[in-house]
Amino acid sequence: MATELYDLTVPAFSRGLNALNGLLDKAVAHAAETGADPEAYLSKRLIDDMHPLIKQVQIACDSPKLCIARLSGVEAPVNDDSEVTIADLKTRIAGTLDYVRSVPREAIDGQEGKDVVLKFPGGELPFKGVAYVTGFALPNFYFHLTTAYGLLRQAGVPLGKRDFMGGLA
């Protein structure tokens, strides 16, 4: 049996977004234990020319929703990137999860050969559906998820591999 495109996307995105939500929960709990301001984590950066945590979470939400929308043709929710608190980010994660899970399997499977063209200020990147998922969408998602994990870990939040991996089932 062949692997279907839905199986490569929705479960991976769902698990990662749930893990991201859990990372934020642990950050809030750690801040409460140490007397820190949990919102201070949102401006943390690994280095000056990288996005802060708040933008890492926003992009980690955009990657799944845009991937699913591009493959399925089902319009994705629009976010204005106005989040300013961890609670706001958790709401965005929940909305992204709701959208990703709402798109029917039939709208995603069979799109392996679909043309997907990403437009950037410097040009375009053309893909076929499966190459887009495996060569761009999933790596981009995991980059931002990993960076969010690293930022919180660097800030002292007690996280481990199981937190990053989400539910190990």
CB 116 within 8 A of CB 126: yes
Confidence of residue 166 (pLDDT cuts 50, 70, 90): confident
Q: What is the dihedral of CA 20, 24, 26, 32, to 10 degrees?
A: 180
55 token code pair: 């933008």
pLDDT in tens, 25-45: 999 999 999 999 999 999 999
Please give the Cα distance from 62 to 165 (Å, whole number): 19
41 token code pair: 């984590």
pTM: 0.94
Please give the Cα distance from 31 to 132 (Å, whole number): 38
Compute and round to an integer the Cα radius of gyration of the chain: 16
